[in-house]
Chain A
Amino acid sequence: MDAYLAAIAIVALIYILLALGLTLQYGLTGLINFGHVGFFAIGAYAAAILATHGAPLVLGFVAAAFFAGLAAWPIGLVSLRLRDDYFAIVTLGFSETVRLVITSEKWLTNGVQGIPAIPRLFSGLTVGIGAQLAVLAVLLAVTGAAVLAMRRIVRSPFGRIIEAIRDNEDGLRALGKEPARFKVQVLILGAGLAGLAGAFYAHYITYIVPDQFIPLVTFYVWMAIIIGGVGRISGAVVGTALLMILLEGSRFIRDVVPGISEVEMASIRLGVIGILLVLFTIYRPQGLMGDFSRK
């Protein structure tokens, strides 16, 4: 049971990292990134490829964040020229293209067979669930640092500017600030967080295939921040917690109600996510942790 809880906590923290990245991009700056899973995939594959070729694990994490951020740079340059919903379509296309590339470039990524036997972190600790707890501790520290950094960002001049981009871009321009540079920076930062999450994911799951990086993952994260409250750091955390309850709870439903197959459960999960997205956009666009007085 302890091992199970630790496992859920690890996956939850990985999703929180993803949600923090999206909060920075969409919640604070208003950039509609529908391709978050693309950056997550780049991070996971960067870490996995380096680790299976014998590079030090720390290097893999740095590379994961670096390459994810690097991929965000041209996307950021494109975003400067596009209206919000067009940018959403472009990023969705980006993440699907990333999946095509990792499926096709077998020499690098082993194609649909995926990369097996990615080393676990702290695999030296074999006693009980020591290794898992160590991973959990590291993830907690990284996520904690990310939350603190985000809080600093929100209160900094930089934070005020990106929130102004979300609220009134023309107004900001009239004040003599150029939104372009800030948008690119925010995209790279958020993508870097997603890449870091990808590295943790690869080392935790130890086996990655292209099918793990479908757009549904992006919308899991979207659902988490929409339920939690867009633009709130606490919203990202609370929303992810609820998402995990939903995803993990569905396993127990199968124990209670017999006769539901795994694929049917996948459909039910998809449906619940879809219906929740619709209901929250209609009835509670500010989310659970959002400002109750605003709509």
Chain B
Amino acid sequence: MFYAQLVVNGLLQGLIVGLAALAITLVFGIGRFANAATGDAMTFGAYAALLGHGLTGSLAAAGLAAMAATAALSLGSYALVFRRLAGRSAVALLVASIGVGFAIRAGLGLGFGHGQQLFSVPLVRPIRLGEVIVNPFDLQLAAVAAVMLAAVFGLLHLTPIGRRMRAVADNRDLALVSGIRPERVMVALWLLVGAVTGIAGMMLGMKTVVSPDLGWEMLLPAFAATILGGIGSPLGALLAGLLLGVAQELSTPFVGFTYKLAISFVVLLAVLLVRPRGLFGRIEGVR
């Protein structure tokens, strides 16, 4: 039963990793680079949610604040930095995204200080399902994540702009000659990525404590989930995130609390060496 509890805990952790990986994989698939600023953008979302939650006390307001603020940040980083690097090597974009991440973290450190801040979440009696204990607040967070995911997949698969985004991801040149305007696709992409990142950051902040280093620590698990899921595959990113979250929790009794973070690195290496296209990815591109 102990392990069932760990699986339940891991699922929520996995949703957070999965959302972060979703943001990374969308940029990887459409913008063609590994966005290392994702972690720090998550931190930004957590602080925005902290402000929204502090003012109203409602989870919905916190989520909206995180989404709106991080989407604006994300679009800003595209307009100011990544758009100017279009056509340059993936390395240039990667280095620039590290710089963007540092700048965001520095701004948060200056604006909010380096102390740890907590969401004032009401204490609720946990629900017992047999031997497994579930916190109702975790269920609310999972519901928020589910709504976000439904919105993302709905947008990608049911709307014209989503179809265009998938077309650019699939074959950029073909999409361009078919008359798709790349600029609009990119704006939509960065807004969407920002909203996803913001929600991931809020969830992470609510499950732990908010400090300027919050999101950076998530970057490695998120990259690992992106690659495990197959680059550019949103569904893969989500499933891989869940898998990784559960694996991390399940490994804790065996390897200890510190080493559970190293699980991501081991998974990352194993996937790259054994099955570089990940669970759902295409074969091209990794080697």
For residue A119, CB closer than 8 A to chain B, the reply is no
Question: A276 contacts which of B99, B113, B259 (Cβ < 8 Å)?
Answer: B99
Closest to B40 in A: A274
Residue numbers in B under 8 Å from A275 (CB-CB): 99, 103
Residue numbers in A under 8 Å from B227 (CB-CB): 86, 89
Contact with B along A256-274 (1 / 0, CB 8 A): 0000000110111111111
> Is A100 in contact with B268, judged by CB distance below 8 angstroms?
no
Chain B residues touching A, majority SS: helix
Chain A residues touching B, majority SS: helix
Question: A274 contacts which of B106, B224, B258 (Cβ < 8 Å)?
Answer: B106
> Is A96 in contact with B265, judged by CB distance below 8 angstroms?
yes
> Is B268 in contact with A277, judged by CB distance below 8 angstroms?
no
For residue B11, CB closer than 8 A to chain A, the reply is no
Given contacts A96-B220, A222-B95, A278-B96, contact A78 B90 (CB under 8 A): no
Closest chain A CB from B80 CB (angstroms): 8
For residue B34, CB closer than 8 A to chain A, the reply is yes
Closest to B217 in A: A96
Number of residues from A at the complex interface, CB < 8 A: 41
Question: B110 contacts which of A78, A85, A271 (Cβ < 8 Å)?
Answer: A271
Residue numbers in A under 8 Å from B261 (CB-CB): 96, 100
For residue A81, CB closer than 8 A to chain B, the reply is yes
The docked-state distance in angstroms from the alpha carbon of A109 to that of B153 is: 47
> Is B92 in contact with A84, judged by CB distance below 8 angstroms?
no
For residue B98, CB closer than 8 A to chain A, the reply is yes
> Is A93 in contact with B99, judged by CB distance below 8 angstroms?
no
Given contacts A97-B265, A271-B106, A274-B101, contact A82 B286 (CB under 8 A): yes
For residue A133, CB closer than 8 A to chain B, the reply is no
For residue B148, CB closer than 8 A to chain A, the reply is no
> Is B100 in contact with A267, judged by CB distance below 8 angstroms?
no
> Is B109 in contact with A273, judged by CB distance below 8 angstroms?
no
Contact count A vs B, C-beta below 8 Å: 127
> Is B102 in contact with A219, judged by CB distance below 8 angstroms?
yes
> Is A219 in contact with B98, judged by CB distance below 8 angstroms?
yes
- Size category, B interface: 35 or more
> Is A92 in contact with B220, judged by CB distance below 8 angstroms?
yes
> Is A93 in contact with B268, judged by CB distance below 8 angstroms?
yes
For residue B223, CB closer than 8 A to chain A, the reply is yes
For residue B107, CB closer than 8 A to chain A, the reply is yes
Closest chain A CB from B164 CB (angstroms): 25
The docked-state distance in angstroms from the alpha carbon of A223 to that of B272 is: 28
Closest chain A CB from B52 CB (angstroms): 23
Given contacts A274-B100, A277-B98, A282-B85, contact A94 B109 (CB under 8 A): no
Q: Which of A74-105 contact B (CB under 8 A)?
A: 78, 81-86, 88-90, 92-94, 96-97, 100-101, 103-104
Question: B103 contacts which of A78, A84, A278, A282 (Cβ < 8 Å)?
Answer: A278
Closest chain A CB from B228 CB (angstroms): 12
Residue numbers in B under 8 Å from A274 (CB-CB): 98-106
* A to B CB contacts below 8 Å, 15 in the list: A81-B272, A82-B272, A100-B258, A104-B256, A266-B109, A267-B107, A268-B110, A269-B106, A272-B106, A273-B99, A274-B101, A277-B96, A277-B98, A278-B96, A281-B96
Which 10 pairs across A and B sit closest by C-beta, in order of nearness?
Answer: A274-B102, A271-B106, A277-B99, A267-B109, A274-B103, A278-B99, A93-B265, A270-B106, A274-B99, A281-B96
